[in-house]
Amino acid sequence: MVFKKYNPIGEEEKELVNQVLDTGVLSQFYGEWSPNFYGGPFVQKFERAIENLFKVRHAVTFNSWTSGLVAAVGAIGISPGDEVIVTPFTMSASAMAILHWNGIPVFADIDRDTYCLDPKSVESRITNKTKAIMSVDIFGQSANTEELMKLAKKFNLKVISDSAQAPGALRNGRYAGTLTHVGGFSLNYHKHIHTGEGGILVTDDDNLAQRARLIRNHAESVVEEAGIADLNNMVGFNFRMTEIDAAIGLCQLNKLEKIVKRRQYEANYLNLRLSKLPGLIIPNVKEGNTHVYYTYALQLDRNIIKDKKSEIIEKLSKAGLPNISGKYPVLYFLPIFQNKIAFGKSGFPWNNNDEISEVSYQKGICPVAEDLLENTHLQFYINDFDLSDENLDFIASKFEEVWKTLSILD
């Protein structure tokens, strides 16, 4: 069956991009202290529209959400050797943003139902070196931010929400990404808001917003004129969004609600059919949460299904289902963590001023994440397609066909 590729770009985006092209100004950032330090008119308009939609004091755009994460970690003021607790069950950029400032990623385990950080595991990882918690709203719903913020208050920490995959998701009526000290979203090509590449940082903290804007645009060159006294991490970059990306983003922002509702419709359609299959666990949406389904994540109940996960995925793929996968990274298995080699050859930042970090990346430190990777997790990349009801019926029917071939325990 043909599955139509996801493409939310329409005539509105083309019209606004042409307006930008007609001006001849594709970017209006200056790397000096001037009225253009904060970017051109489309960047400014996009940021104000984000603030209005997500009900935050500040939105800061970036050329990628990886850049936004780097800026967020730098803005909270970490120093080399500081520890930041993060989930291992995420894309590598979350942990790399910590390493970028020579911080030490410390991996805590995840909640089996939501795939997001487990606050109890987080608390067990807190030491006198812990500076922050980076929570990832993976697959499309919010983590337990209330408990994470309680830990932050108790231990004087900052919390960063990496809500790359969850723009538009709600927790108790508020948007994911806005529930912690600083958060943000990805805009790359298969995300809900799509500008090709891009990122949005959001915060209600005036100081964090200003520091993020400085890191975005050559901070070291402007701090004196800007009157910035705290020079910690005022090392700047060119993380700036173009006027074309901002113009596309303005149009995409207006489509977010419609896109989210469509993803929820698709997931609910599949839930009705797949929930009847023994041993297949459909997405669990926690009370108070809404889910925007960046991906449609499923689990196998090993007490009911005897077949190996790899064999089931192979059968589903051969049945004609595209983009079925059981792979999602457990980051500490990557060579950079197993060998503790990042900057240079001496093991920095784990080996900092002759102080050797005892942070462990050995197998077994996050048993839930590891079990999901090895035995139980599979997902359909719903974000890749614009699915019709016919497509959804096809997907459900193929699951049903494959399930008839499995060894199911009574």
pLDDT, tens digit, for every residue of 20-68? 999 999 999 999 999 999 999 999 999 999 999 999 999 999 999 999 9
Name all domains of the chain by residue range, CATH numbers in brackets: 11-251 (3.40.640.10)
pLDDT, tens digit, for every residue of 248-285? 999 999 999 999 999 999 999 999 999 999 999 999 99
pLDDT for residue 190 is more than 90: no
CA atoms within 13 A on the CB side of 109: 17
Pair 134, 84: CB distance under 8 Å: yes
**What's the whole-number average pLDDT of the chain?**
96
Burial of 292 (0-12, 13-18, 19+ CB in 10 A): buried
Give Rg (Cα) of the chain. Answer: 22
| CA distances in angstroms from 212 to 48, 72, 77, 217, 330, listed in the order given | 16, 6, 11, 9, 28
pLDDT (mean) for 353-363: 87
pLDDT (mean) for 181-185: 98
Q: In which band, very low, low, confident or very high, does the pLDDT at 202 lie, cut at 50, 70 and 90?
A: very high
Q: In which band, very low, low, confident or very high, does the pLDDT at 189 lie, cut at 50, 70 and 90?
A: confident
Longest CA pairwise span in the chain (Å): 72
**Alpha carbons 145 and 174: distance in angstroms, whole number:** 11
pLDDT for residue 237 is more than 90: yes
pLDDT, tens digit, for every residue of 375-396? 999 999 999 999 999 999 999 9
pLDDT, tens digit, for every residue of 17-33? 999 999 999 999 999 99
**Residue appearing with tokens 């940082």:** 201
Element at 184 (helix H, strand E): strand 182-186
pLDDT for residue 161 is more than 90: yes
Of 183, 193, 251, 200, the C-alpha closest to 63 is 200
pLDDT for residue 354 is more than 80: no
pLDDT (mean) for 91-103: 97
pLDDT (mean) for 310-317: 96
How many CB atoms sit inside 10 A of residue 40's CB?
21
Residue 1's pLDDT is what? 86
Per the structure block, which two tokens stand in for 389? 């009801």
DSSP 8-state assignment for residue 159: E
How many CB atoms sit inside 10 A of residue 409's CB?
11
pLDDT for residue 355 is more than 90: no
pLDDT, tens digit, for every residue of 109-136? 999 999 999 999 999 999 999 999 999 9
Residue 263's pLDDT is what? 97
Residue 353's pLDDT is what? 72
